[in-house]
Chain A
Amino acid sequence: MTYDIAVIGAGPAGLAAAARAAGAGCRVVVLDAGPRPGGQYWRHRAGSAPADRRFRALAGALDRVDYRAEASVWFAEPGFTLHTGAGEVSAERLVLATGAHDRVVPFPGWDLPGVTTAGGAQALLKGHGVLTGRRIAVAGTGPFLLPVAAGLAAAGARIAGVFEAGNPLRVLRRPVPAAKLAEVAGYAARFARHRIRYRTGHVVVAAHGDVEVSAVTVAGRDGHTRRVRCDALAVGYGFVPALELPTLLGCAVCLDTDGNLVTAVDHTQQTSVPGVFAAGEVTGVGGADLALAEGAIAGAAAAASLGGRTPDDAVPAGPAGRRARLRRFAATLHAAHPVPAGWPDRLTADTVVCRCEEVPLRAVRAAVTELGATDARTVKSLTRAGMGWCQGRICGYPVACLAARLNGRPVAESDLDTFARRPIGSAITLGQLAEGDRTTP
């Protein structure tokens, strides 16, 4: 059977798209890699669904669609046929809502156990009820550090400090949605209750320890450094959109203001490939509220396009207004929370930049200065950075930046593109590849 619409991803964007499309009378399938709906934002333990009313409402709509958990899509063919770990699925329209993962740039010691991404520390807690350490430093940039630190503290961790590289006050130079100000006030109260220190303009420049992290070095704006004792570090500099499926399908990508490659979409959330819509972080990092608005628009527009209508007529006014406001706000946040420009200067020649293939900075530098690499693609070929298990998901952004910087130019779309394209969208075994879809769920 061919579905009208296949939604890939069951986070805020995917759930909103599925609910809209099902409400319009479409036959909808939702394919999600996770064991339960909610994505990273509404990640929860079995039997403890989030209290968020928005989640409850959208998860209720899953009764009207074919929802498949643990159905990670590893290949997509035009037309559209999706290959998943749980069989083959065909659909007339696609809504890609594949989300993002944490963006981290290297620093000495970032590969020590106990150092995790900010999202990783939060996922371990929200999904499994476990803390990464007893005394946790939280670092990086962006508003995401607030819920991470507050959540870890509420679960009993001592927070050794929140080290925000950016200047959040810059956000106030532009209009801030009232709901966002209320959220921040809520976090301020929670930080006060748990006596969490929040320092802006501070960067974790190194992690120390023999087998596991036991301290980090933090540098302030003036360059003054100090050592902070901790047994875990949760670090994140924003997020990297998951572009596997958009690029497999040939969707155009573009550079966003946070330095990420993202899926290009029009005002109906349609990509450059007719019939393929995209919503949420995969079209630009902007948070759950923006993802919900984009998902609703994508679901409505995809449904309308099936009835022979132009999707333009179907863009719902409420979500479209929210999308416009929240995209502006996302751009404001990106400007206040850049990846700190000086991060490459803090690496030593031995600092591993590609964790999987254990490629040190020295090798990346030699690829450019001795072997003449002028772009990230050549650096990848010469060093194996980005060719390991993670396929550049973690090192893609930093290696693209390093390749450009060592060549004395700003990072180009093509540098990032090198690491965004993967012939297989998610990890499968060679046996699965050989069997195609004859594997049964």
Chain B
Amino acid sequence: MITFAGREIPFEPGQSIAAALIAAGVRSWHRTRRAGAPRGLFCGIGACFDCLVTVNGAPAQRACLLPARDGDVVAPVSELASESSGRP
């Protein structure tokens, strides 16, 4: 399981964080910094950076590329990243 906004979300081995979120019905997980417009997956292959999330405190991770790992805490990228436990 990973958690997003306090909600537990299952994933299959090898699935990206974006895939897990979308499979769970979460299709917008990011708000743009000016208009606050909702965004989620767009290019799906790491080119557009629309799907950014904070994962275990590490900011600006591409949800479409990053494989989900058990226990990952996923948050909208706009939330302040903590200093600890980020992925390398």
Q: Are B16 and A358 in contact (CB under 8 A)?
A: no
Q: Per-position contact with A for B6-33: 1 when CB-CB < 8 Å, else 0?
A: 0000001111101100110001100011
- For A389, give the chain B residue with the smallest CB separation: B49
Pick from B34, B43, B67: contact of A116, CB under 8 Å: B43
Tell me the count of chain B residues lying within 8 A, CB to CB, of chain A: 34
In contact, B49 and A390 (Cβ under 8 angstroms) = yes
- Number of residues on chain A facing chain B (CB within 8 A): 38
12 additional A-B residue pairs with CB within 8 Å, beyond A113-B27, A130-B19: A102-B43, A116-B44, A119-B43, A120-B42, A123-B45, A124-B22, A124-B44, A355-B42, A356-B50, A390-B49, A394-B47, A427-B62
Residues 23-40 of A contacting B (Cβ, < 8 Å): 33, 35, 40
21 contacts between A and B (CB under 8 A): A111-B42, A112-B38, A113-B39, A114-B40, A116-B44, A119-B44, A120-B41, A120-B43, A120-B64, A121-B44, A124-B22, A127-B19, A132-B41, A355-B48, A355-B50, A356-B49, A356-B50, A358-B37, A393-B47, A394-B43, A394-B48
Tell me the bound Cα distance from A102 to B18 in angstroms.
18
Query: Is there an interface contact between A113 and B38, defined as CB atoms closer than 8 Å?
Result: yes
Does A101 make an interface contact (CB < 8 A)? yes
Q: In the complex, what's the smallest C-beta–C-beta distance from B28 to chain A, in angstroms? A: 4
A329 to chain B, nearest CB (A): 25
Q: Which 5 A-B pairs have the closest CB atoms?
A: A120-B44, A389-B49, A128-B19, A113-B28, A113-B40
Q: Please determine whether B39 and A111 come into contact, CB atoms closer than 8 angstroms.
A: yes
Report the minimum CB–CB distance from A32 to chain B (whole Å).
12
Contact A132 B14 (CB under 8 A): no
Residues of A within 8 A of B22 (CB): 124, 130-132
Chain B residues whose CB sits within 8 angstroms of the CB of A88 once the complex forms: none
Residues of B within 8 A of A122 (CB): 44
A101 to B12 alpha-carbon distance, docked (Å): 26
Partner of A117, one of B33, B38, B42, B67: B42
Residues of A within 8 A of B41 (CB): 113, 116, 120, 124, 132
Any B CB within 8 A of the CB of A46? yes
Residues from chain B with a CB closer than 8 A to the CB of A35 are 67
Q: Is the CB of A212 within 8 A of B27?
A: yes
B45 near A119: Cβ-Cβ < 8 Å: yes
A195 close to B (CB within 8 Å): no
Contact B39 A128 (CB under 8 A): no
A50 adjacent to chain B (CB < 8 Å): no
Q: A111-B37, A124-B22, A389-B52 are in contact. Are A129 and B12 (CB under 8 A)?
A: yes
Q: A45-B14, A113-B38 are in contact. Are A212 and B45 (CB under 8 A)?
A: no
* Closest B residue to A102 using CB positions: B43
B5 at the interface (CB under 8 A from A): no
Residues in A with CB closer than 8 Å to B37 are 111, 352, 358
Bound-state Cα–Cα, A101 to B64, Å: 14
Cβ-defined contact, B18 with A33, below 8 A: no
CB <8 Å contact, B16 and A127: yes
Q: How far is the CA of A101 from the CA of B22 in the complex (A)?
A: 21
Give A35 to B28 CA distance when docked, in angstroms. Answer: 25
Contact status A33-B15, CB under 8 Å = no
User: Residue among B32, B45, B67 with the most chain A CB within 10 A?
Assistant: B45
Whether A6 sits at the interface, judged by CB under 8 Å, is no
Note all chain A residues with C-beta closer than 8 A to B49. Answer: 356, 388-390, 427
Question: Does A19 interact with chain B (Cβ within 8 Å)?
Answer: no
A112: chain B residues at CB < 8 Å are: 38
